[in-house]
Amino acid sequence: MRTDVEARLARELPGYARTVLDALEAAGFEAWVVGGWVRDALLGRPGHDVDVTTSAPWRETARVLRAAGAAVHETGTAHGTVTAVVGGMPVEVTTYRVEGRYSDRRHPDEVRFVTDVREDLARRDFTVNALAFHPARGLLDPFGGERDLASRVIRAVGEPRRRLEEDALRVLRAVRFACRLGARIEPATQAALEVCAPLLADIAAERIGQELDGILATGRAAWALRHEFAVLAAAVPELAPMAGFDQRSPYHAYDVLEHTARVCAGVEAFTGGGAPAALRWAALLHDVSKPACYSEDVSGRGHFFGHPEEGARVARRVMGRLAIPGEVTRAASALVLLHDFVIGPTAPSMRRMLAELEAAAPGQARQLSFSLLDLKRADAVAKAPGCRDYATELDQMAAVLRRELAAGAVWRARDLAVGGADVIRERGVEPGPGVGMVLAQLLTAVMAGELPNEREELLAWLRW
């Protein structure tokens, strides 16, 4: 007897996935949808890509699906995986398998193909990911994944410590899925996370980067910082000094870690949970260098001179190591660099901010300008209560910024209504660096509001 839930899943399963299952089963094999699609569909969030697991060896899979009219790409045959494209939609199809010993805690020494889907489910990381579904046979859930999903619990399949030791990346995956599902981590799994977090040191940096980016993308980095800091600090050792770092400043009510968690939550609140990746990374890293830049004055008050510049360097280094795309890295480090840049609710100030962003992240100033205001606002409300008035002032700045951008604000020399050729002709200067210097002067005057960005006016200035 199928439950209502199973009937709903059967209705929601995309036709192209059904085609793959039916073709394999008509050829005498067994096939199930597995992993993320099942998990997300149970949560009422269909739309995840579909992965299929099957008893067919990959060559048979390829043969059967090609005969059914699919294009088949041999994307990971060493692990039994092919990708079938049906009606333009890709489906990964993998032969039932288990993984051999992990002598390096990174890659299984071998994969072994098996005949029982339950064995395949048993090698998966968490109960919520170890669910299989077939539209006629319903859910296959040997580890209580449906129940854990309903009560929002991340629980390792099998003995947690052993599973995390096999592949330490699972430590970060646990945190990512907890963030994504708003779940808690079951106590035995949590205890194993704490023991196994140091093993992340052996994991390839780009895999760590992917998981960390995934954690930030959930918008719940604040939770991870507060509840799983040992894991995050094992993944990115540069974060470790933030914990417990007393700022000894009347402007700060919290240590650097709690302050950072509040800023991460703040940028989500101000963007309706849709903060761009660079803003999320910047929120995480904006004060990362405060401990390293700490000094105390004679009164015992703390200062952090140079922490934005040093933080921007650390952000570039960390994100580069984690193989985060260059554009995101440049944008995030620009935001870190400028998070304390003094601005006010005036047009010239907003143009200066745009010019600084342009210099730090060429071509990204416009989008980043709003992210910088969001970061500054989150930073302000995450300090001591007295700093909150500044958040109101930031509203005015955002209004001025929008007005300026709509009115065609200029912050790059190339946006001036005159160009190098005009300078050479009107000023009689030789082509070369002198031209750039004149344009820079003009830009400064236009940004300060001393000149309008209008061709005739600028030509007159050049002739004068």
Residues that bind ligand ATP (CB under 6 A): 35-36, 48, 51, 124-125, 129-130, 167, 169-170, 173
Q: 38 or 284: whose CB is closer to Mg ion?
A: 38
Judged by CB under 5 A, the stretch of 32-40, 92-100, 291-299, 351-359 that binds Mg ion is: 32-40
Q: How many CA atoms within 13 Å lie on the side-chain side of 266?
A: 24
Whether the CB-CB separation of 402 and 438 falls below 8 Å is answered with no
Q: Tell me the C-alpha distance between 356 and 369, whole Å.
A: 10
Instruction: Work out how close the CB of 94 gets to Mg ion at its nearest, in angstroms, rounded to a whole number.
Output: 12
Interface stretch with Mg ion, choices 34-42, 138-146, 163-171, 173-181 (CB under 5 A): 34-42
Q: Which residues contact 63 (CB under 8 A, 6 or more apart)?
A: none
Give min distance, CB of 408 to Mg ion, in A: 44
Q: What is the rounded distance in angstroms from the CA atom of residue 309 to the CA atom of residue 199?
A: 31
Count residues binding Mg ion (CB under 5 A). 1
Judged by CB, which is closer to ligand ATP: 173, or 259? 173
Residue 234 Cβ vs ligand ATP, minimum distance, rounded to whole Å: 16
Q: Which does 124 bind (CB under 5 to 8 A by kind): ligand ATP, Mg ion, none?
A: ligand ATP
Indicate which of Mg ion, ligand ATP, none lies near residue 157 (CB less than 5 to 8 Å, by partner kind): none
Contact status: 36 vs Mg ion (CB under 5 A): yes
Give the C-alpha separation, 370 to 449, whole Å. Answer: 21
Residue nearer to ligand ATP on the CB measure, 36 or 46:
36
Q: How far is the CB of 379 from ligand ATP (least distance, A)?
A: 30
Q: Find the shortest distance in angstroms from Cβ 200 to ligand ATP.
A: 13
- By C-beta, is 85 or 359 nearer to ligand ATP? 85
CB of 48 to Mg ion, least distance (A): 7
Two structure tokens written together for 457: 């006016």
Distance CA 285, CA 264 (A): 10
90 contributes a contact to Mg ion by CB under 5 A: no
Nearer to ligand ATP, 146 or 167 (CB): 167
Which amino acid, residue 347?
A
CB of 148 to ligand ATP, least distance (A): 13
Q: Within 10 A of 332 (CB to CB), how many other CB atoms are there?
A: 31
Between 155 and 173, CB nearer to ligand ATP: 173
Query: Of the ranges 31-39, 259-267, 336-344, 390-398, which one interacts with Mg ion (CB under 5 A)?
Result: 31-39
Which residue is closest to ligand ATP by CB?
36
- Label residue 80 exposed, middle or buried (CB < 10 Å: 0-12, 13-18, 19+): buried
What is the closest distance, in whole angstroms, from the C-beta atom of residue 53 to Mg ion in the complex? 13
Binding site for Mg ion (CB under 5 A): 36
